[in-house]
Each structure stands twice: as C-alpha cells, then as structure tokens.
Amino acid sequence: MNELSPIEAACGGPSLATLRRYDTGELAPADAARVQAHVDGCEACQAVLGDFSAERTAVRLEVPFSAIEARLPGGRALAKLRRFSLYLALPLIGAAAALFLVPRRTTNGEAPAIRRKGARLDYFVKTPAGVRPGNQFAGLRPGDRIRFRYDAERMKYVLIVGVDPDGKVSAYAASGDRSMRSAGPGLNLVPSAVTLDADPQPERVFALFSNEPIAVDEIVPAAKDALHEAHGDVTRVKHLPLARDVEQATVLLRRAP
Amino acid sequence: MDRQNLRQLYERYAGHVHGRCRYLLKDEEAARDAVQEVFLKALDHGDAFRNEAQPSTWLIRIATNYCLNVLRAQANKTRQAVREGRLEVAGPQALWSTDRAERRQLVRELLEQVDQETAAVAVHYFVDEMTQEEIGEIVGRSLPTVRKRLREFIDAASALAGEPPSTAVGR
Ligand SMILES: [Zn+2]
C-alpha cells in the first residue's frame, strides 16, 4: 500500500465530491453523462445519491429556509429557532372521535370567532357538564372535547390548523394532507371532535378558506414566520402570511389556569 | 447575494451541508444550528460565491471548517474511550478501505486527535475522496503541505491504534 495513494470507492467510480456536484447539477454535460452512465450500473453510488436525497428531505422539514431568513441582517433580532415538526392530528383522532351534539344556535356576542371578510370560525366545548360555545375567557381543560364550526363564505375549500408556541402545526379539519371541500354555505361543523391533551400551552387555530386546496406543509413555514413576528407569542398571532388569496379566521384555545 | 439567491442556494445545497454537519457533529440539534450558520456565512461571502464554479465544494468546505471548529471546543472523547477499552480503532491501513461507510466512520473517530487544518484535509481526502491537488486548491495550501497534513493524520491513526508511526512514508 502506498501510504498516500488516492482514495477510491470499491466501485472505482466518481469521488464523493464529484457525486455531490453531479447531484447539484454542477457538472458539465459530458461529465454528467459519464457519471450518469456509471451510477446507472452501480449500487454503491446509487446509495450515495439516495442519501443525498434523504438529507434534502430532512433539511426541508428540520431547518426550513424561513429559519435562516429570520436571522438575516435587517431582520429582527431573533432567538435561535427550535425544530418544528408537522403532524396531522386528524388521522389520530378520526376513528376514535365520537360525534357529539351541539346547540343549533349560539347566543350572539359569545361567539369567539375573529371575523375576517365574513368567513368565520368558532367552536364548541363538550365537558362532563354539557356542551357550551367556546369562549376565549373560559379556559379549557385536559379531556375537554372541541368541535370546530366554520363559515366558508363563498370559498370552496377549508383547512383548519392549530399552531402551538413551538411552531408545531396540527390539522383539525383536512382531507388527507390538504384542505377539504367546504360542506356548503352557512355554518358547518367539522366532521369530528378533538380531545384536548394535558399540554398547558395555548394554541392558535386558523381556518383557511380558499378556492384551491392548500397543503398542510405549506402552512408550516408561514406559521413559523408569524410566530417570529409575534416574538413566539401565539396569542398575538392573528394572521398567517400566506402568499395566495386565502381568507382567514382564527380562535385561540387557552387552557384553564 | 440577495434573499432570493440565498433561498435558491439553500434549496439546492442545504441537504449536502446538513449531511456534512450531521456526520461531523453527531448531534441533530447541533447540526441544525450549524446548517443555519453555514448559510449565513455563505451570505457574508456572497461575492466570492458568485464566481464559484463548484458551489457544493465551496459550501462543504465552509461546513467542514465550521463543524471542526465546534468540535475543537469539545473534550477529546475518543482517546478516553480507547484508553478505557470502550472503543477499538483500526490501524491506518483501514483508511484506504474501499467501503465508504467504514472509512467514513474511522475518519470521524480520528478527527478529534488532530488540529483543525489536518482534520479538514483528512475529511476532504478520505471522505470526499478528493485528490491532493483539489484539496490544496480549496484549503489554499501547497501540495507538500497537504501531504504533510495527511501524514500527520495517518500518524494519529497509528498512535490511537497503538502502532508505531509509519516510517515508510510515501511521497
Ligand atoms: Zn460507483
């Protein structure tokens, strides 16, 4: 063994650095074609490219660009961002959630919805004492069951998501990982109820109304940005910075002291 | 470089930077922070970047240096582990293993034994599989210096494995 002989993979193919340049499209066409020809027949190099792809997915979820953007000069002085994750609450609660009856009408003035352009969101709470309309000032307790109600105005789709102070986004009304079709004009209850866990953190819930479905994972960076604007205080997040034409309504879920 | 450029850069290269940071730092949380730091540094050197023919190599160098700097601040755990018999390190010949994963792992265990420049050269050589010429170019050192660093690294491997330093130093 020559002590300083070049390093090679078992396949004798391109170096890892070259595979990286191939992966990012930096190679000249002739070089890229050569690498491609090798990779097509080489499992070891295919595995390397698979790792690259996995890292790309991981970084998109774990370190969204908004985390960097928030730290750019000229932005706010920002605390380091924590990881935020995305999970869909709906599949977890869907089957187990028993529907419950709610009053047909709520008393005026008690509706906790913050109205924006006519679209609205509110909710009902079922406790051992019965069902009552949701209210910002009467806190919620672990085990309470929440059911959202919305009015989509004339919009076709609705997506209801919650954002907690860690930037975690949960879907409460969705179709798979996107908006669901609105049930029609007027006030509509979402199909299933959510049971509150013991987490004492407040949660900001948005109903997003649109004419094209929105993917839940589009919401995650917007939620993060909004949280930053509000210095991490979900109670002050009133609006999600979404690019397209989306109407929004929001309520705050607060645990009882 | 403006935000839009940085975003494009990020979308294309963040995965590679993340992979390098996870490998060197062995800590998910620290790796996530490091990815942010690396891209903020890239922004600082935006003008240098614009003329870069190999952006991936350039970013990987920044990521490698950044993480080695973080590592240097940590205690040397590898030597301790070897001393206590919790870790057995192969001799330097294993650095030429044709198995990428094996080579990568051994290099990682040795990095904390050497100074930062030596560690960077070793990572580019044994992990990135770059040639000595390519390494000299990206770290801004002459070829003899690159060789010297590689020999230092190999000697560190011998020492950790309990072998005498190699006398048959190649050229
Ligand atoms: Zn190969």
Mean pLDDT, chain B, rounded, equals 85
Lowest-confidence segment of A131-135, B10-14, B122-126, B149-153 by average pLDDT = A131-135
**CB-side exposure of A219: number of CA atoms within 13 Å?**
32
**Between B144 and A164, where is the model more confident?**
B144
Which chain B residue is nearest to residue A51, measuring alpha carbons?
B19
Task: Report the topology of domain B1-88.
Answer: Rna Polymerase Sigma Factor; Chain: A (1.10.1740)
Q: How many residues are recorded in chain A?
A: 257
Kindly report the pTM of this predicted structure.
0.55
Domain limits of chain A? 2-101, 114-253
For chain B, the domains span 1-88, 91-171
Instruction: Output DSSP code: residue A79.
Output: P
What pLDDT is stored for residue B124 in this prediction? 97
Q: What is the pLDDT of residue B38?
A: 93
Q: What pLDDT score does B91 carry?
A: 79
* Average confidence (pLDDT) over B136-156: 95
Cβ pairs bridging A and B (under 8 Å): 124
Which run of H or of E encompasses B165?
none
CATH topology of domain A114-253: Immunoglobulin-like (2.60.40)
Residues in CB range of B133: below 8 A, 6 or more apart:
B143
**pLDDT for position B168:** 42
Kindly indicate the confidence band of residue B75, based on its pLDDT and cuts at 50, 70 and 90: low
Q: What pLDDT digit, counting tens, does each position of B26-73 carry?
A: 887 888 889 999 998 888 777 666 667 788 999 999 999 999 998 876
Contact yes or no for A206/A240 (Cβ under 8 A)? yes
B168 touches A: beta carbon within 8 Å = yes
Q: How far away is chain A from the Cα of B80, in angstroms, using its nearest Cα?
A: 27
Which of A8, A63, A83, A225 to mutate to test binding with chain B, by most B CBs within 10 Å of its CB? A63
CA of A48 to the centre of ligand 1 (A): 9
Nearest beta carbon to residue A10 from set B35, B99, B125: B99
Binning chain A into helix, strand and coil, the percentages to the nearest 5 are 25, 25, 50
CATH architecture, range B91-171? Orthogonal Bundle (1.10)
Tens of pLDDT, residues A230-239: 888 888 888 8
Q: What is residue B50's predicted lDDT score, i.e. its pLDDT?
A: 65
Residue A35's pLDDT is 96
Degrees (nearest 5) of the Cα angle B69, B75, B79?
A: 110
pLDDT tens-place string over residues A169-216:
888 888 888 899 998 888 888 877 788 777 778 889 999 999 999 988
A204 to A88, A163, A168, A237, A242: CA distances (angstroms): 15, 5, 11, 7, 16
Q: What residues of chain B, 50 to 109, have a C-beta less than 8 Å from chain A?
A: 53-57, 60, 92-93, 96, 98-100, 103
